[in-house]
Amino acid sequence: MRYEDLLLKQPLESATYKEDSEFVITQVRKILDRQKETGDDKIIINQNLKMGLPLENINKIAGPMMEAWADEVFAGIRDNMDNDYHLINVEAQERLGMADIILQFRKGNTVLTGNVDVKATADDIPNSGKGPNITSFSRIRTAYVRDPDFMFVILSIKHKVYVQKNAGTGLMDGIMEVSDYNVYDLKFISDADINYNPALGTGQIQIKDIHYVSYQYRTTWEMCQLLDYKYLHSSRRTIEDFYREASKNGWIK
């Protein structure tokens, strides 16, 4: 059996997909720019430890904290129906969901949906953000087949953590501050930035460095082919494995 002999479905995205993706990415970036400009880019942790937080371990909880911060930022803007970002709906997803937050924006007479995966990385840890798992191979491959306009957005947030004396309590507050951010569509990052890790189920799609990526525009079908290439070039995967996943998930005509 050869990959070339399989009659795979070839998803076709809307003619406006690239423009729609850029619109969503731009709106998310503008929202984060606003938070930075207004100084509303910190999480303050009030606690009763006189010596402050154990900073060497704080990054273990920083990820969920930053996800919660992002959700609150977007929800706060959505609550203003006349907001400048055309954001009309925000839905936080369950822990094992494909995305962390679903954002919907109005663009003319259409509603665009971005499935946002929030990735928090520490500014002071050299290898933080290198090769994180993004989503499972079969899950994202199936999403693109079922909806060629499926938009999977990576929101990479770099943060720094420090302590600051609270004038009211005299104790040391922990501060998590956003130091940098990047937003991009998974479909449009370069071949070299995407890796495949065969561990965990059908394997995980990884990004070489979550915060620094190169862009490469491609169609949804080209993205599916790239994912297939990464999968099949793993020493732990065979064409029979691929055929089983393709049959189970409806990738074959």
For 13-36, what is each residue's pLDDT tens digit?
999 999 999 999 999 999 999 999
Please give the Cα distance from 29 to 36 (Å, whole number): 11
Relative to beta strand 110-122, strand 152-165 is: parallel
177-189 in b/e form (b: 16+ CB < 10 A) is bbbebbbbbbbbb
Strands 110-122 and 87-92: unpaired
**Position 127 confidence tier, pLDDT thresholds 50, 70, 90:** low
Question: What would the mean pLDDT of 65-79 be, rounded to a whole number?
Answer: 93
Distance CA 63, CA 159 (A): 9
> Mind listing the pLDDT tens digit for each residue in 137-153?
999 999 999 999 999 99
pLDDT attached to residue 126 = 67
Which neighbouring-strand residues pair with 112?
Answer: 105
**3-state secondary structure (DSSP) of residue 241:** helix
Q: How far apart are CA 172 and CA 210, in angstroms?
A: 31
Q: How many CA atoms lie within 13 A of 142 on its CB side?
A: 14
